[in-house]
Structure 1
């Protein structure tokens, strides 16, 4: 078993770590065509993942694709109902996992694909391996991902690129550092002050670092940069939308888990005992959350080279 397979299978064993708390996995693979308005120019298709559609007068930006070309085509049909006369369609992705990127072949010809360079390197390196793992989850996933071949982006960027969608609507695509993955991408929509946050900011969801390409220390650093954006709305990819307070709540959650774990680590407490301690505290603090198992995140904190003690 390769590294990606082992990491992802441990991820699947967690009931809600990094996955939508409000949708069971068996109900996730096929996106619906129901849309919810998040802010003046941003709509959401709820699913695995939540897909964002940002509409200007001259162009549309879609953030994430759904699992495989069938879902990508579904998203494109929704776009056509929201903005049938717009001539340009832009597509970007929050990170390199298949439910976020593998629907790209279902989008119409001429779609302008944009991705940050770190995420693209992760996709080039590990995209095929993790897609193979997703194909093994179920017959439905296997069918959705059959024959998927992803193309090279039309545009790659290092830290930021801005897209003018017309009518005063602009989308800033940002790479501020690692979190759930090293290449996590954020989209800030103006004038809405809406953040399409991927896994960087979630809602009532335990943080999860995939693999070893990011660290809890990096996640906190990224959140500090996000806080400076002063957003009014947040649309995560695997949990419900909320207001700008979600950024501070995510910072508090990640920082609180890290501080407690490091305190116990420095006392010589084993990772297993620390996991039990923190999980019990989280369950008590958040009785309404669907899942409070932070075991994998605690393991990431113990392995973080920023704190080798």
Structure 2
């Protein structure tokens, strides 16, 4: 193969050789996952490469990738990368996975980048304000970092899927106008309040579990949710949940609620998790004819009579208050 000797890493060289291509410049896709690759020197000679998967290797330096201007998908998850300044040149790259690396600085991204799908989860990133200027982003995963502030994204026009779970975000999240947003995961933070300044009718999935939220007024601005997860919050009331008539999935584990009033009106509900609360009665839930999964573990005040009735209603999986003991 012409040019193969230019590739320094023997493991990468083997992967390239397996393509059985005579010219490095004709290779458009390369799958080199989990091959013990450490050095990318020479990969720049695969000049027409469009998609490359280098996940689960031992890569630290990605500088050679900067010369591959035709790339449309780069997957570098689970490596040992600290410096991504080489990405400054790849302004037209649409998809990038850098999850599970050693990143702390992502300043290379600017408003000139046309990145649309970006996974930076499980790194050590603190500041992400510059990503708010990447106006073509539609999916952004920032979970498992050290981020404290995300309000810079409050008016992002194209974001559809936004994941900021398991960070250090506290206080109030303000969302002004993210009209294309379909899913938001802000679980495992220290958020006390969520504010939507406008109606967000496209939002379908919202996860605010494991935070410090006590009020659910924000649900007035998210009428079309099909999935709402608010477990592990000190909720004062769940009355606002009753207005979410599109809801199919609802989890309210360990929230301190004492009743399920209003949930019986959610006729499309298929999954309901209300375990580890202080609920005394679930009799009204018998009217939920589409319910396939009901989790009530830990609510020991619910009568056996009500449990027997619900067993006949729930189609697939009903876990009673003492199901672990059975």
Shorter chain as denominator, the TM-score bin is under 0.3
TM-score scaled by length of structure 2:
0.26
Structure 1 or 2: more helix by fraction: 1
TM-score scaled by length of structure 1:
0.27
> Which protein has greater RCO, CA pairs closer than 8 Å, 6+ apart?
1
